[in-house]
Chain A
Amino acid sequence: MTQLKKSDVRLDTECRPDFPALHQDISSHPLVYLDNAASAQQPSTVIDAVAYYQRHDHANVHRGVHTLSYRATEAYEGARDKIQSFINAAKRSEIVLTSGTTESINLVAQSFCRPRLAAGDKILITHLEHHSNIVPWQLLCEQTGAELVVAPINKSGELRTEAFDQLLTDDVRIVAIAHVSNALGTINPVKDIIAKAKSRNIAVLLDGAQSVPHMPVDVQDLGCDFYAFSAHKMFGPTGVGVLFGREAVLDAMPPYQGGGDMILEVSFDGTTYNDLPYKFEAGTPNISGVVGLGAAVDYLRSVGMTRIAQHEQQLLEYMTRRLEGIDGMRLIGTATEKASVQSFLVDDIHPHDLGTILDHQGVAIRTGHHCAMPVMDFYGVAGTARASLALYNNIEDVDRLIEAIAKARHIFG
């Protein structure tokens, strides 16, 4: 068996004990969790932070004068500070807390784009987007008469940059693109894209759902206008996420939803809106979820994003090599720049059959279209199997995956 060099980063030994869900048997086999791109497991620090908040500190935020309301507000706003620092946003007011990447993108579509789009304007995305970075724009096109333009990818799953450049015309109002593809693992050349868009004064939104858990992200260095991501893919709770927006851009946008917390003064003659970021946080938020997100940020920073990226890159390399060694293997998504995600098909075994057989050996992978049906259409497949790694995965996990695939081939052989 090929081993990684001793000098290599091995985070799994230090991180695995932190994740209680990893330590269980599935069908009498120790769990191997390789579905991190769908949702990652939570460390005890996140689980405990949420539980502690619920047991001791819960009240509504930004409202009461009593102690619990103060504590809840401190915990909630403290998490915002952590997130700001984590992605190096210039100001805390640029961190809007949402229900997830999907809401973040819808917020930009409806609040930033809708008022300024006219029939004939263009929205530029790519062929490798998740449905959550396609459908909000289609809705917007229906509402405004704008046109959705899709930049093509090549067979490796990389953006065809020369075609993208040609599509980046002056009538494009926003470029919305995944930092990392959830189905293919491709890391898009986002800095180049942002530079090109900025040279034409075109706004840029990055869907960071698959990048934030796996690599350092610095929104000032990137220079994007918006950056959207979800807590549950970065070892936090579900139902909470972030929209980073540059202050000047957010300031000029009307509110997304009306309700409590987003106002300064309400009368039947009119309402004045609250300051950033509260203007975009109508209603009582997911306070415990945000507390959990703050704890997840602490966890990621304690491990170190650069080390995480190194660990996963080494493991991805190993997994790719092992998968390639299987007869009948078809890797889908073979970009040069990749995050730790690999889609594949084996022989003519349907991904769901493969998923069931793997699950029966304790190996959890995702099967299906991965909410990226246009990507599946591009490769002419109904779906794929997908193994996605996180900081706690190790060589043994990959070996178990390979053994389980061998068994599937044996059953179907």
Chain B
Amino acid sequence: MNAVDIHSGDDLRDLYRELILDHARSPRHFGKLDDATHTAEGINPLCGDKLRLFVRLDADEKIAAASFEGSGCAISVASASLLTDMIIGLTVTQALDSFAIVTGRLTGSDTDRELDAAIDLGKIKALDGVREFPSRVKCATLAWHALNSAIHGQSTPISTE
């Protein structure tokens, strides 16, 4: 332990929780999904955050697989990693609901929304600390907007800047 006072930065610890750092260091479902049925790119050109999200829908319109590739800050990478963890197994409708719920939580605009029982916010709550850092909300929401864009079949890259 060095001499740094970590207690003066509780907001920081809230932003950079262990779970976030873990997903940033070792992102889950990282890489291209060769048999993806839907894909979209999220780019924040000022930040330099850039990722591509892949989703494979099965015949029942359920998300059978999801992955992402790209590079960005810890918040954007962890958010994308948590997203892929969360949406696999959801229906398209549930995934779109998740997009609305999570982006609502992150922007602080929609936190009371009723949850579909199949949607487990669980780990996503680890991103809540970002609300105290307005300049970083765009990092946390990038992958989620890419998900929305992919499901709607939009081919142009989205940005949250």
Interface residues of A (CB under 8 A from B): 27-28, 349-353, 356-357, 360-361, 368-369, 376, 382-383, 403, 406-407, 410-412
Contact = CB atoms under 8 A, between A and B. Distances in A.
Interface in B56-78: 71-75
B48 A368 contact: yes
Given A350-B73, A356-B135, A406-B2, A411 B12 contact: yes
Contacts of B5: 407
B139 interface: yes
27 contacts: A349-B74, A350-B73, A352-B49, A352-B139, A353-B73, A353-B74, A356-B133, A356-B136, A357-B16, A360-B11, A360-B12, A368-B47, A368-B48, A369-B48, A382-B48, A382-B50, A382-B71, A382-B72, A383-B48, A406-B4, A407-B4, A407-B9, A411-B9, A411-B16, A411-B21, A412-B21, A412-B74
Interface string B1-15: 010111011011101
Interface in B69-100: 71-75
A361 B48 CA distance: 23
B46 interface: yes
B15 A368 contact: no
Contacts of B136: 352, 356
A356 B47 contact: no
A327 to B, nearest CB: 11
Interface residues of B, number: 26
Nearest to A412: B21
For the complex of A and B, the 6 pairs showing the least CB-CB separation, nearest first, are A350-B73, A352-B73, A382-B48, A410-B4, A407-B4, A383-B48
A407 B135 contact: no
Contacts of A406: 2, 4
B16 A353 contact: yes
B74 A350 contact: yes
A382 B8 CA distance: 30
A407 B47 CA distance: 22
Contacts of B48: 368-369, 376, 382-383
Contacts of B47: 352, 368, 383
Contacts of A351: 73
Contacts of B8: 28
A369 B71 CA distance: 14
Contacts of A28: 8
A412 B72 contact: no
Nearest to B77: A350
A351 B50 CA distance: 14
Contact of B6 (A352, A369, A411): A411
